[in-house]
Structure 1
Amino acid sequence: MQRSLRLPLSLTGAAALALANTPIQPVAAQEKDGSAADLGVMEINLKDAVQFNWGFQGALQGAGTPNQAGIGAFLPIAVGENSVWFIDALANANFADRDGESSIVNTDVAGTTISTSTRLGYRWLNGDRSWMYGVNAGYDSRPMNTGDADTSVNVFDKRDVFFSQVAAGLEAVSDTWNFNAYALVPIGDDEHRLNSQYEAGALDTYGLDVGYSITPDLNAFVGYYYHSGDVGEADGSGVKGRLAYHISNGLTLGANLSYDEAFDTRFTADIKYRFGSNGYGAPSKKEPAVMPAIQALSATPANRDVRVGDGCFYVNGVYKCFDVKTEPSGGICDGTFC
């Protein structure tokens, strides 16, 4: 399958690096009196602030992503005076799509499978600890069971398939701003036949999310992404928005809205709860406030799902779905049907 990788990857990486190095003066920092030293930020020992935390997460189905719930953990493996190496791992149970509402466009995801995601990363603070910068990379897997199509087409020969990807991300976080550039690149067999009518592909996705802290507990994000794949039917751009509200004690609720030509408009919601220590990994409103740049050192990296979309078979130079009742000589793949 042909992919247009160089342009979106270059744009994403260049944008993220430019943002990370731009001397933006956070609005919140301008409004505060005193320097970082006056606020006590320089006195924080990162070995106390950055500690192991774990918890639960869940999300409703979205654009190529399933209904899911699972467990995750953040493990610092080397904490320095101003930096941290870490591993973050997730395991989610993926559930069936809502009846008649396919998360991958045409075919309903069925049954329950277990997906995984792992990130190895390095994060560091700037001189006055007003910004956190980070880089991470890892591997994600997604087995997928399939059921009926939510189109008018009857399907048979339903199959269970497996997708995987490698991923990389760049981060920059201050009191007010949050930038996240990412790349999700399928590996191995990235296209599979799902049933008698459709085949599916994992999506190459490259994006940039920009967040702004409306209040200390409410963050708004907007994002752009380019994806390709979906057996040739999903090449193009998309936009998304997100609101995240930190309730207390590590509990965060999120609402997300996305649009692109392949998946149209998709709304999803998510929830995350993290058990931490010292009010850093799982901050509580009862604890003293901790600067977002410090909190971000032990935050869970975003954009972890293997995104999948399905389309019709590629036959005689075009993508086409066949009705097995009216086109028995369609001649798809191995000739055992259509």
Structure 2
Amino acid sequence: MLRRLTIGLLAFAVAMAPLPLNAQEGSAGDLGVMSISLKDVIKPRVGIQGQTQAAGTPNQAGIGGFLPLVVRDNSVFFADVLANANFADFNNYSSIINTTVAGTTISTSSRLGYRWLNGDRSWMYGLNAGYDTRPMSTGDADTGVPLFGTEKTVFFQQAAVNAEAVSDKWAFNAYALIPTGDTEQKVNWFYNAGALDTFGLDAGYNITPALKASIGYYYQNGDAGEADGSGVLGRLAYAINNDLSIGANLSYDEAFETRFSADIKWRFNTAGISQSEKQKKAWEKPTIKALTESVKRRDVRVADPPAARLIDFHEIPMILL
């Protein structure tokens, strides 16, 4: 299945190749981008990131980094890793539908990828794949169901594959998140939680050099079947400077309904680079900046919708007797 998904995402990236630049944007050569040596400017980037809870994802904050492994004249082979501390849900409002996330756990995400520029550097294309983990501690149910101290900590993991294409104005990102291992687990005596398969496509547009908007479609499904269906999401992101950006996200699907979240990311270049004004202008082009952007869509998404099953009353603790 992963092989078929990878082939499909590669086909998506290749299909984007013929799209031309808008005539008003000017050629890549006009801005000096052809004179940039990627080996001089692609360096490790590290920093911090944080986001509020969303549809199936927790409040979290952590550290991450982009690590170029092999830089060639027009491409880079890279690793992108991060680790996040996951925090409790806000105000007894469940991020996974019914049971609140509690406590603090550490999730991880790792990617290996390859990004390259087309002949005139007007488009950047990329493919990456990796592995994500998410331990999850749970608390009370926000539905009012008494849990009697049966809350558990569970562990989910997923494989992921991603394809991307970026021009001066447009950005496309196709992704597949595929849970592995024990994908559905009991989190208390009443609810089971499951990691969701998620397949999606985002399309973004640069309104200004600093302000970006995107809209996306995703399809999700899990073992329980109750969260299966399509969803849509929108995003606005603003780059305060070349290192710091903030974003706001709004999503809707039938299982999670409407969810709003916000995020912040700070990444800085670990090597001091002296550049001419022409080089700086070229380096600020989206196609060049995209070479070192952090990989998107990497959270393990979890849902615990009520399952259509008979309750085994032997599961209820003796405190009920």
* TM-score, L = length of structure 2: 0.90
Selected match of 2:96 from 104, 109, 129: 104
Opposite residue 292 of structure 2, the aligned amino acid is S
Please list, as runs of the form range in 1=range in 2, the aligned pairs for 1:1-338 lying within 5 A after superposition.
13=9, 16-17=12-13, 19-21=15-17, 23-27=18-22, 30-33=23-26, 35-156=27-148, 157-229=150-222, 231-276=224-269, 288=281, 290-313=284-307, 318-319=308-309, 330-331=311-312
Go from structure 1 to structure 2 and tell me whether the alpha carbon gap of 1:205 and 1:296 turns closer, same or farther (over 3 Å shift): same
User: Following the alignment from structure 1 to structure 2, what is the Cα–Cα distance between the partners of residues 333 and 311?
Assistant: 21
Q: Which consecutive segments of 4 or more residues in structure 1 shift more than 3 A?
A: 8-15, 277-280, 332-338
What is the distance in 1 between the residues matched to 2:102 and 2:212?
A: 34
> Given residue 83 of structure 1, which amino acid in structure 2 is its aligned partner?
S
Structure 2: tracts of 5 or more residues without a match: 274-279
Alpha-carbon distance in 1 for matches of 2:236, 2:142? 30
Gaps of 5+ in 1: 281-286, 321-329
**Aligned-residue identity in percent:** 59
> How far apart in 1 are the matches of 2:250 and 2:298?
17
**Equivalence for 1:283:** none
TM superposition shift of 1:108: 0.4
Q: Distance in 2 between matches of 1:219 and 1:12?
A: 26
Deviation at 1:50, TM superposition (A): 1.1
- 1:267-299 CA distance string (max 9 Å, x none): 00000000116799xxxxxx5352111111111
Are the structure 2 counterparts of residues 134 and 179 from structure 1 closer, same or farther at C-alpha, using a change threshold of 3 Å? same
TM-fit CA distance, 1:11: 11
1:335 to partner: Cα distance = 7.6
- One-letter amino acid of the structure 1 residue matched with residue 312 of structure 2: G
Distance 1:257 1:185 in 2: 23
| Distance in 2 (alpha carbons) for counterparts of 1:204 and 1:333 | 31
TM-aligned CA distance change 1:312 to 1:11, over 3 Å = farther
Q: What TM-score comes out, normalization by structure 1 length?
A: 0.86
Aligned residues: 312
Q: CA deviation at 1:232?
A: 1.5
1:195-235 residue CA offsets vs partner (Å, 9 max, x unmatched): 11101000000000000000011110000000001621111
Question: What residue in structure 1 maps to residue 276 of structure 2?
Answer: none
Residue 102 of structure 1 aligns to a residue in which SS? coil
